[in-house]
Structure 1
Amino acid sequence: MKKGYLQLLFCFLLLVSSSSTFAQIATYNRGDITAVINPTMNHDSNACSSTCFVTANITINSSFLNDSVIIVDTITHTRLFATGNATGASPWSVIAGINMYNTVQPDYMVGGGVVFFNGPVLKIISGVDTIDSIPNNYVLPVPNPCTYNNVTGTIYVDNNGDCAYNAGDVPLNGLIVTGTENLFSPSTGLYMNNVYTVPTGIYTMRMQQSWMTNYTISLPPSYAFIFPVTSCFTGSITSTTLPLINADFPLQCSSNIDLQCWANAPCDIRPLGAFLLHPYATNTGCDSATGIMTLIKDSHTTYNASLSTNPATYVSGDTLQWNYTNLTNISNGAYWNSFIAGVHLTPDATVNIGDTLCFHGYATIASNDIDSTNNVFNICIPVVASFDPNIKEVSPRGTGVTGNIPVSTPDLEYTIHFQNTGTALAYNVNVVDTLDADVDALSLKIVGASHYMVPEWLAPGVVRFNFNSIFLPDSNTNEPASHGFVRFKVNMHTGLALGTQIKNKGYIYFDSNPAVITNEALNTIADPTVAVTNVIQSGNVRIYPNPATTQITVENLQNGTLSIMGINGNVVMSKEITAVKTTIDISHLPAGMYIIKTTNKNSTSTTKLIKQ
């Protein structure tokens, strides 16, 4: 490997116009990789902002077909860019755009005549070569930024109506204040800003002074029903002066309120998994609200008062109630006040994945409540569960539990699915497959893969699929991106005898962890002219035919239960069995593989069913 070195080249270019461009180019070398990191920064005095765009110009000096380049954020281990050499060009050049944390910086962020742009610390990987810890922070000089100045004022309830903030008045904390500014050419359009009042009722808003025509400070229209226009409060303040102090809002309260009731809930529920539901009542209004909040829980959940916060004051069956008093936007010096309960609930044993648990709640409607529609809520939460996502499939699947196929079958196509269900990023995934002796290993053909992959023969008939630097996220962080697969075809040897079984399973290695072993894919060479009716038998219980199309027959399960589940564990059908022999209609089930679970007083067993 070549000795790595860092060569820094700074180029400065200043354009005399309404904008200026400033570049800081850095060149890095390691092994066969040459990377030129090229940030282009620009300040536009008309728009009163600066921008920064970064490209990585990468050259692999000695490359080959299916060579790869990967760029990774070294802090989060997120893959930012990946591509492969589809032409076999050597040298091979790649241009990648790098997203910055802050692509645009307004001029009010300028300090000491400069503005800062920050991006991810980069790692560039190609084969065995890696350039690590490439900084991605830049400084842009802004010699003449746009100017800004402050508008300040106090928002309060003017209890004595004298239009001045004095003893007895109540400052309002947490109110939104909106500023809208009209700008003249060459800077066109509106400049808008929102701030909140602090506990003393004071707000401070920074407004753009450059290119300003005028500006307006106002409260959102949603407050109008509480704070009507009076001789002291006209709804807004318009000015052409900056800075501006004592831009106060002396407010008079109306008697209107808006009580709202809702619940914060988890996005999903697990069977037998306890969870918290947070119903709450809140009042927007100066007048206080007192009443009752009611929750009707799903009947398939159990309430535990000792593990709940603000336990219900009244419980009857599935109905829980709480008393709330004096909810007002002024109490405790805050504008937004709520009564919140944490309800500890556990699904009962009848709840299974695929079910939905529903909850209904409401709060007392007062005569001065301007909107009664938001006093009621209905929430339904799906029940989910995990299952083993690391499986192996074969096509054709064949018929029956032994996967019967004719000897004339041209080839077998295998797909190995894998998923990172751990708690951290998987840097490398390696899939090892030992081919059955009845297939031709030399006929192996890669059909597809989810990520860049390099196959490697470890021994005759033993192949390893290397997903190096895959950076596969875990399912908790990014479930859709946590999956991967490899798909390949092999030919069977000619002249295989009837009854020959071709078996295959995969071994999946996530980094240095022990192998995750897939199910075994099975095919059996069978005479296509002989009809086969397979029988599943567990103990004395018999289920047939298998595969089935429209119905199955169950024998010797009297006084028991038969459940049919999808491969994800979701129960799609359940039936109580009373007779010695029972026929069950399955014509409504989609084609595929299912799990049958049978239970009686003597035993419980599971087996597979193929629905065609």
Structure 2
Amino acid sequence: MKKIYFSLLIIFASLSFLNAQSYTQGNLTVNIMPNFSHDSSNCTSMCMFMYNIQKPVSFVNDTVFIKDAGSGFVFYTFVNTSGSSPWSDFAMIPQLVSIVPDINLIQPGNIANYFAPPVKAISGVDTIYNIFNMNGTTITDACSYNNVSGNLYVDQNSDCVFNAGDIGLQNVYVASGAVLSSPTQTSAGFSTYSNTGGNYNMLVQQSWLTSYNVYIPSQYQFIFPSTTCSPVVYNFTTLPQTNVDFSLQCGSVVDVQTWVGSPGSARPAIPFILNPVVSNTGCDSASGVLKLVLDNRVVYNAGLSSNPATSQNGDTLYWNYTNLTNLSAGAYWNSFFAGVYLTPNVTVNIGDTLCFSSIVNIPANDLNTTNNMYSFCIPVVNSYDPNIKEVSPAGTTAQGLIPASTPSLTYTIHFQNTGTAVAFNIIVVDTLSANVDAASLQIIESSHAMTPGWNAPGVVQFSFANIFLADSTSNEPASHGFVTFKVNLNPSLTPGTQITNRGDIYFDLNPAILTNTALNTIETPSGIKETEVKQITLLPNPASNEITISSTSLIEKIEIYSVTGELLRSEKYSPSANIKLDVRNLSNGIYFIRAGNSVMKKFVVAR
């Protein structure tokens, strides 16, 4: 398989971008041409990436796939329906579009940086990896924005001034709703959070602005009732604005709540982390116990957990938390966190769910008791492979008959992820037949980047690390993979010799899945044929030491031939209908016996 890698260095200080990029590998060239546009009424710019593929040599139904570089999802397929050679085609790929709001432009200079997913282009044996869809331009008619700033604090002495003894509130959400006169946009929202000192600075759109307000959401009002020093909502018509402060009081209630940060899914035998949390959004402090009830099919490892449980009783973990208040460390939100290291046991299978509950005690002055318990379940997903093994030439009949002159066999191992999650790593282990020359193995092609290696003499391993193979439900075309290799046959294989090959495919930590067995058999040459007669029998057949020849007529002469017609032995006997023939000096293989002048029968020596 041919591979080529590109790296693109972007120095944001200079913001120097190419307007077009070109990648070539073998018979395939991919040109990327960015197409920029700006919408002043919506205050956004867009870059669409036009793809041009070129192949100097092509044919009817020649295909170029544009795939996501990570998941393998097929974004676009170019097909040469006309059979033109050379062949060139253009397409604007819908998934490769980047939109940048004007508020996110880099200053100074109003620079828009556009990023779309990196892709790879595949056409036969030619693969171009890591095609970067990145570009940038200066927006000359960008919308303008300006600042609103102020402070959020608990006014302990009620003097309407942020001074000694007052507490600045960190991480409080501040929002603004603007009324606009744009032809396509009548309103817009803006927001920010206060910093460690309670200060905030928020950009609000100035272009098309008619009026705007500034406020903190109503759900905070039970914690921080407004004082007479500042309104609940500010209203303005001009920008910029400074000293838009929120002087607040501290309520006497608490709201203790719990939740758990968790992954979207779990995999059998692969560890994951749960993050149980208890927090208090009230000014008064709260202390108590946090409990996490585990699914009985996971194993808890305290040594690998951050902030491990204070104690454990069966499937329940316990933590003590103390003095949680939103004024701790000058923060609006103060929480107790734990990191729990869990591993699903061997009984967990794809399609199962792992369920957990987080529970905190309810203080007497808790404003909302519905959020003191949090229960959830995590689906168990995994990759899975149906697999198939192919050989070329396949040969004829069910035995895969091939001539003894066949120089080599080409094997392809196909795999597909029919599970419910992306496959991160895939390993294919192939045990070669003793009838092939392992040293002659040559890798022809693979669907993804992989690393070959020898596990043992005659046992080759193909490692697809970080393949991120999509599952067939999410993206069927991208759920397939393969590896193709060629190996020479050993010289002088006798007719009847069988060459078998089978692979083991490992998807992540799943058990190995065996492929079918590809079978080839060295056929008998056409130079010598068995005579179809029923009056002679050979037993046993195959034979190891001795074979008995029985006939309905008397036998006086026996000749043994190789499958190529070479006379190996000729013996005369006293006339008899039953003759015992010693075959211990014959090697394993197929032979022919001539009884008399015309009767020819095949027998096999096998030990």
Fold similarity call, TM over 0.5:
yes
Looking at structure 2, the residues matched to 316 and 70 of structure 1 have their Cα atoms a distance apart, in angstroms, of: 55
**Which of 145, 150, 154 in structure 2 is aligned with 1:148?**
145
SS in 2 for 1:117: strand
**In the alignment, which residue of structure 2 is the partner of 1:380?**
377
User: For the residues of structure 1 that align with 2:66 and 2:276, how far apart are their CA atoms?
Assistant: 45
- Structure 1 residues 39 and 430 mapped into 2: Cα distance closer, same or farther (>3 Å)? farther
1:208 partner letter:
Q
Q: Is the 8 A contact 2:259 2:278 kept in 1?
A: yes
* Aligned-residue offset at 1:258: 1.9
Residue in 2 that maps onto 1:67: 62
Contact 2:71 2:468 in 1 (8 A): no
> Is the 2:112–2:139 Cα contact (8 Å) retained in structure 1?
no
SS at match of 2:243: coil
Match of 2:185 in 1: 188
SS in 2 for 1:102: strand
- Does 2:126 correspond to 1:92? no
For 1:109, the equivalent position in structure 2 comes to 105
Equivalent residue for 1:48, pick from 43, 51, 63:
43
Distance 1:145 1:365, change over 3 A: same
- Partner residue of 2:241? 244
Per-residue deviation, 1:46? 2.8
Deviation of 1:170 after TM superposition, in Å, equals 0.4
User: Does 2:167 match 1:176?
Assistant: no
Show the counterpart of 2:555.
none
Question: Which of 315, 320, 328 in structure 2 is aligned with 1:318?
Answer: 315
Give the structure 1 partner of residue 517 of structure 2.
Answer: 520
Equivalent AA in structure 2 for residue 149 of structure 1 = N
Offset of residue 251 of structure 1: 1.0
Structure 1 residues 328, 509: closer, same or farther in 2, change over 3 A? Answer: closer
Q: 2:23 and 2:379 mapped to 1: Cα distance?
A: 51
Q: Does 1:118 align with 2:114?
A: yes
> Using the alignment, how far apart are the partners of 1:475 and 1:377 within structure 2?
36
For residue 256 of structure 2, what is the amino acid of its counterpart? L
Contact residue 67 and residue 74 of structure 2 kept, 8 A: yes
The reply to whether residue 335 of structure 1 matches residue 341 of structure 2 is no
Q: Does 1:296 align with 2:267?
A: no
List runs of 5+ in structure 2 lacking aligned partners: 1-17, 391-397, 399-411, 434-442, 451-463, 483-497, 507-511, 520-607
How much identity, in percent, do the aligned residues show?
A: 41
Q: Say yes or no: does 1:228 pair with 2:215.
A: no
Counterpart CA distance in 2 for 1:425 and 1:302 is 26
d(CA) in 2 for partners of 1:129, 1:416: 19
Task: Give the match for residue 370 of structure 1.
Answer: 367
User: Which range is displaced more, 28-37 or 49-58?
Assistant: 28-37
User: Aligned equivalents of 2:179 and 2:514: distance in 1?
Assistant: 66
Secondary structure class of the residue paired with 1:232? coil
How far 1:157 sits from its partner (Å)?
A: 0.9
Matched letter for residue 371 of structure 1? N
SS in 2 for 1:373: helix
- Provide the residue aligned with 2:548 in structure 1: none
Compute the TM-score of the two structures, normalised by the length of structure 1: 0.59
For residue 210 of structure 1, what is the aligned residue in structure 2? 207
Aligned to 1:197: 194
- Structure 1 CA distance, aligned partners of 2:347 and 2:123? 53
- Number of the residue aligned with 1:605: none
Tell me the amino acid that sits aligned with residue 152 of structure 2: I
Structural mapping, 1:212-611, within 5 Å: 212-268=209-265, 275-301=272-298, 303-345=300-342, 356-382=353-379, 389-391=386-388, 417-419=415-417, 423=424, 474=466, 478-480=470-472, 483-484=479-480, 518-520=515-517
Matched AA of 1:236: V
Question: Equivalents in 1 of 2:323, 2:73: separation in Å?
Answer: 49
Instruction: Tell me the amino acid that sits aligned with residue 92 of structure 2.
Output: G
Which amino acid counterpart does residue 230 of structure 1 have in structure 2? T
Could you give the per-residue CA deviations for residues 360-387 of structure 1, whole angstroms, max 9, x where no partner exists? 3311112322221111122334556676
Q: Which runs of 5+ in 1 are unaligned?
A: 1-22, 394-401, 403-413, 435-463, 487-501, 523-612
Other structure's SS at 1:154 match: strand
Q: In structure 2, give the amino acid aligned to 1:263.
A: V
1:76-114 CA-to-partner distances (Å, cap 9, x unmatched) read 988654333244244434223255573334166154545
Question: What root-mean-square deviation, in Å, do the aligned CA atoms of Structure 1 and Structure 2 show?
Answer: 4.9
* Code of the aligned partner of 1:151: V
* Structure 1 residues 53 and 266: alpha-carbon distance in aligned structure 2, compared to 1, 3 A threshold: closer
Conserved 8 A contact 2:384-2:416: no
Does structure 2 retain, via aligned residues, the 8 Å contact 1:295–1:320? yes
Deviation (angstroms), 1:181: 1.1
Corresponding residue for residue 396 of structure 1: none
What amino acid maps onto 2:90 in structure 1? Answer: I
**How many matched pairs?**
437
